[in-house]
Amino acid sequence: MSEESQNEENEQLHKQFQRVITLLNKYKLLQGFVNMQHDATKALNESSIQKENLDELQRLVDSLHPADIADLLESLPLEDRLMVWRLVSPEYDGEVLLEASDAVRETLITDMGSQELVAAAGQLDADEIADLAPDLPQNIIEDVFRALPIEEREQLREAMSYPEDAVGALMDFDVITVREDVRLEVVLRYLRRLEELPDHTDKLFVVDRYEHLKGVLLINQILVSDPEIRVDEVMVKEMIALRPDDKAQDAADAFERYDLVSASIIDRDKKLLGRVTVNTVIDFIRDKAENEVLNLAGLQEEEDLFAPVLRSVKNRWIWLAINLVTAFVASRVIGLFEDSIEKLVALAALMPIIAGIGGNSGNQTITMIVRALALDQIKTGSAWKLMSKEIGVSIVNGLLWGAVVGLFTFAIYHNIELGLVMMLAMLLNLLLAALLGVLIPLTLRKLGRDPALGSSVMITAVTDSGGFFIFLSLATLFLL
Amino acid sequence: MSEESQNEENEQLHKQFQRVITLLNKYKLLQGFVNMQHDATKALNESSIQKENLDELQRLVDSLHPADIADLLESLPLEDRLMVWRLVSPEYDGEVLLEASDAVRETLITDMGSQELVAAAGQLDADEIADLAPDLPQNIIEDVFRALPIEEREQLREAMSYPEDAVGALMDFDVITVREDVRLEVVLRYLRRLEELPDHTDKLFVVDRYEHLKGVLLINQILVSDPEIRVDEVMVKEMIALRPDDKAQDAADAFERYDLVSASIIDRDKKLLGRVTVNTVIDFIRDKAENEVLNLAGLQEEEDLFAPVLRSVKNRWIWLAINLVTAFVASRVIGLFEDSIEKLVALAALMPIIAGIGGNSGNQTITMIVRALALDQIKTGSAWKLMSKEIGVSIVNGLLWGAVVGLFTFAIYHNIELGLVMMLAMLLNLLLAALLGVLIPLTLRKLGRDPALGSSVMITAVTDSGGFFIFLSLATLFLL
């Protein structure tokens, strides 16, 4: 049993990581920087002091779980990362690659020879190789493929045939099947002959001779049942039967909703193809949540913290370009009113307030609607209710914050009319934000596009340009 | 076995939901609106047509899984929601409450009588009651408490004693323990006497007579082992031993990293207190990811889609107020340069471009850093490396986008100096964004605060006011 609580364990892991870094630094000082970058492992034998350090480093790395090694590699700058990577025992190579983030995995693969890569892939199951495949050079994939037994080749081909967001991409081929007409006693004897069961085996799949799924036999049911009874007396209907081309998100929802550990995947004829397990689902949920946050900030993908500058620029440019276009539009809207601003320069100082708060408010509405759409909570007929609620909120907010900005304006410029125009502009821009905050995601959805992508940029563009237009034209109308 | 694939199942669920809504509408038309809102169930018996509809509705609701009922309730406006809620079979009340979102749960609880609430809570395990407790009136909790057997009272008291973000709050008391000196044969006989095993039992916990955890016995290990061997010959060291006051996030990380289905919770003396199961961890991960997205948009908590207007206003006001303050500051910065703007009014139209792109770029940097901090990827010494990388990115972006906005400016205003000032201002504001995009989260972390909260508002405030200041003072210096 572990002696430490999770916190202490985390601390120990952290200390180990720090120790690795200290050792790396010591080693670098001894080696000279350039030397190390070029050929760390060769330079290694030159001095016994270095050897000692490296031995300790090696021991430390060997003591880590592959998932922890991947973590360590992600937190190291490129040169240190590759140095530690070369120390990782080859038998862990495959698993570490699997656990590393896409960006970091790429840097590790670039550092490996063809033979090493083929060997690393060879340690993995077909479905795991399929996860790595997009990052491997074509010739390596072919070598890996040829090295596999026939059955696994078939599985690899199948696993690679599904898009990343399909259930098929989460498929695990490692299933145990039994027949419905045998006694549990026989099942128990069969299991005992296996040396171990596949991870996350909470149920066996009951199939007929054509591998059609008839039901599932829960492991826990086997344990509490009389060994004399037959499989078909205790097997249950599989609650969820996924198809490989279902959306992975649907599988994740089902796992969350029905508290599953594994679920079967079948084809149109109900033939059992494989299963999905909860650990894969957790990884999927995490990746998805992370991508959502990254996309909200305009990062296309998870970035290697220590990526070269130009690579980071590439990861970020589209968002900046799109926002620049919307900023140009807003700028031209202001340009229309240059005469008004020249006459009453306070307008220039006040207009960003209207645009900014409109953007904030619109983003609140849109986030709620996008989330409700993702959870499928907006049914026919309730869209109108939602719209009227959001309009109600924007009227209350408009009057409230409109009054605040009106008073602010009056306090600074001692101009009542200007204050009233501010208040009215705030109210109208918040109304606009509420209206489009509901309409934009609903429309995107209707057009079959993902409402989570781009909604936020669009609402900000509308409330910026719209806010400037509303405020400046009201001011032109009433004040000049 | 299920006849449908997950997609078809989803579709069927969707159709069922639609059917519920159609029936509700039919019923409403028959009843008259007011009548229904006041006393739906009483009015019910008045006509046989209505009765038929309601019977069908009842059957539909009865056929749904509690998690699906919760979903349905969340997607209905308040009056329909309560009507369906009253049709839910009392034996499901507890589970539906547990599955519903906080905001919707509140509306359901408000609709229930004391006795109903006590009965609903009585169907749940102690750890589940603890999850509901924050939403229950004090007197109900006391009644529930008194109705529990002594052992469960103790568990409830314990479960309620941990903060929401601690492992203790995820604790499940339903564990099976065995002794290390018995043969597997005996364990198997013991299990067979239980009618069923607790959900997510993938391991039994091996304890001594003082309930100190000695190891775990994997269910799958029992199945493949010779029944004659003793527990201590096949039990393994528990990989993760959580403490109830560890952070729940640490538990989630461990489940993701080591692919766990359940993990033990022990106290300082290694006494077994309970366990955490993967379904609870999935709920935790989902909730956390969702809160992150909501907080990014300035929503304090998950909002009932059909919440009353004032309630929504309350959920959103803080964010708007904070942003208003930063907008006031930015407005005063512009106010400093009113003379310059009066002389060259193009400045008013151009300044939002500099501020806007600075904000976008700063948010990209901050999102990356916050994420890296959450994953504990930033070690001592690498902060400088990160900073210099971000500065590199901002210089490239500054030159690139600076040139674009410079050309845009020249194209519109035919003024080379103005274009050059735009370019320089863009470069400087992106540098500022990069610098503070790294420094703000690192500083918040150093102060012991959560860098995910408030970073985004702060960087936007800096790039707004800073952008206006940089651009307008450069323009005043070089152009006027």
pLDDT by residue (tens digit) across A311-326?
899 989 999 999 999 9
Pick from B3, B4, B6 the residue to mutate for testing the A interface (most A CBs within 10 Å).
B6
pLDDT at residue number A39: 41
Q: Which CATH number fits domain B177-278: 3.10.580.10, 3.40.720.10, 3.40.50.360, 3.40.50.2300?
A: 3.10.580.10
The CATH architecture annotation of domain B6-161 reads Alpha Horseshoe (1.25)
pLDDT in tens, A226-240: 999 999 999 998 878
For A225, nearest residue in chain B (alpha carbons) = B192
The sign one gets for the Cα dihedral A80, A82, A83, A89 is positive
Q: Do A287 and A170 form a contact (C-beta atoms < 8 A)? A: no
**Per-residue pLDDT at B7:** 61
For B310, the closest of A65, A376, A396 (CB atoms) is A396
Helix A78-87 vs helix A66-74: angle between axes, to the nearest 10 degrees? 160
pLDDT of residue B279: 95
Minimum distance, in Å, between the CA of residue B183 and any CA atom of chain A:
15
Query: For residue B200, what are the contacts with CB-CB under 8 A and spacing of at least 6?
Result: A202, A259, A261, B261, B262, B277, B278, B279
What is the pLDDT, as a whole number, of residue A25? 60
Question: Position of tokens 């069969």?
Answer: A190
Residue B149 CB coordination number (10 Å): 9
Which residues have C-beta within 8 Å of that of residue B287, sequence separation ≥ 6? Answer: none
Give the model's pLDDT for residue B10: 67
- A vs B, Cβ pairs < 8 A, gives 406
Residues B105, B74: Cα–Cα separation, whole Å: 9
What does each of the 480 residues of chain B score in pLDDT, given as a tens digit?
Answer: 344 455 666 666 667 777 776 666 655 544 433 333 334 434 433 444 556 677 778 888 888 888 888 988 988 888 888 988 998 999 999 999 999 988 899 999 999 999 999 999 988 998 999 988 888 988 888 998 888 899 889 999 988 899 988 999 999 999 999 999 999 999 999 999 988 899 999 999 999 999 999 999 999 999 999 999 999 999 998 878 899 999 999 899 889 988 999 999 999 999 999 999 999 999 999 989 888 888 888 888 888 888 889 889 998 999 999 999 999 999 999 999 999 999 999 999 999 999 999 999 999 999 999 988 888 788 766 788 889 999 999 999 999 999 999 999 999 999 999 999 999 999 999 999 999 999 999 999 999 888 888 888 999 999 999 999 999 999 999 998
Q: Rounded to an integer, what distance in angstroms lies between the CA atom of residue A168 and that of residue A274?
A: 9
| Average confidence (pLDDT) over A105-131 | 91
Query: How many CA within 13 A on the CB side of residue A40?
Result: 20
Instruction: Quickly count: other Cβ atoms within 10 Å of residue B462's Cβ.
Output: 22
pLDDT at A52 over 80: no
Q: Which residues of A touch B25 (CB under 8 A)?
A: 381
For testing contact with chain A, the best of B360, B366, B386, B408 (most A CBs within 10 A): B360
The alpha-helical segments, DSSP class H, found in B297-378 are 309-336, 338-343, 346-374
Q: Which of A18, A71, A76, A223 to mutate to test the interface with B (most CBs of B within 10 A)?
A: A223
pLDDT band at A302 (very low <50, low <70, confident <90, very high): confident
Cα-based distances in Å from B473 to A231, A234, B250, B327, B331: 82, 80, 48, 19, 15
Calculate how close chain A gets to B40, using CA atoms only, in Å. Answer: 20
pTM assigned to the model? 0.85
Which among B458, B466, B467 has a CA at the least distance from the CA of B437? B458
Phi and psi (nearest 5°) for B376? 60, 40
Q: CA–CA separation, B473 vs B480, rounded Å?
A: 10
Closest CA to A444 of A366, A329, A363, A360: A366
Whether the pLDDT of residue A283 is over 70: the answer is: yes
Cα B289 to Cα A184: distance, rounded to the nearest angstrom: 43
Say which residues have a Cβ less than 8 Å from residue A105's Cβ, sequence separation at least 6: A97, A132, A135
Domain at A6-166, CATH homologous superfamily:
MgtE N-terminal domain-like (1.25.60.10)
In chain B, what residues touch A352 (CB-CB under 8 Å)?
Answer: 327, 330-331, 334, 352, 355, 464, 468
Domain range list for chain B: 6-161, 177-278, 309-479
* A196, A334, A350: residue with CB nearest B349: A334
- Mean pLDDT, chain A, integer: 87
CATH architecture of A177-279: Roll (3.10)
Q: Answer whether B67 sits within 8 Å of A255, measured CB to CB.
A: no
What's the confidence (pLDDT) of residue B6? Answer: 59
User: A199 CB contacts (<8 Å, ≥6 apart)?
Assistant: A174, A277, A279, B259
Residue-level pLDDT at B78: 87
Q: Which phi and psi (to 5°) does residue B253 adopt?
A: -60, -45
Q: How far apart are CA A54 and CA A61, in angstroms?
A: 10
| ipTM for the predicted complex | 0.84
DSSP-derived letter for residue B432 is: H
pLDDT, tens digit, 9 for 90 and up, residues A366-388: 999 998 888 878 876 678 888 99
Query: Tokens in use for A387?
Result: 């719209």
Q: Lowest mean pLDDT: which of A5-14, A435-444, B190-199, B377-386?
A: A5-14
Neighbours of B214 (CB within 10 A): 21
**Fold topology of B309-479:** Tetracycline Repressor; domain 2 (1.10.357)
Q: Check residue A78 and give its pLDDT.
A: 87
- Smallest CA–CA distance, residue A140 to chain B, in Å, is 28
Structure tokens at B140: 């109900």
Minimum Cα–Cα distance from B15: chain A residue: A379
Return the closest-CA partner of residue B260 out of B245, B243, B244, B282.
B282
Higher pLDDT, B57 or A84: A84
CB contact (8 A) between residue B294 and residue A367: yes
Best mutation target, A33, A280, A340, A360, to test chain B (most B CBs within 10 A): A360
Sheet strands side by side (includes A272-277) = A241-242, A262-266, A272-277
Whether A200 and B259 lie within 8 Å, measured CB to CB: yes
Of A293, A378, A396, the CB nearest to B293: A293
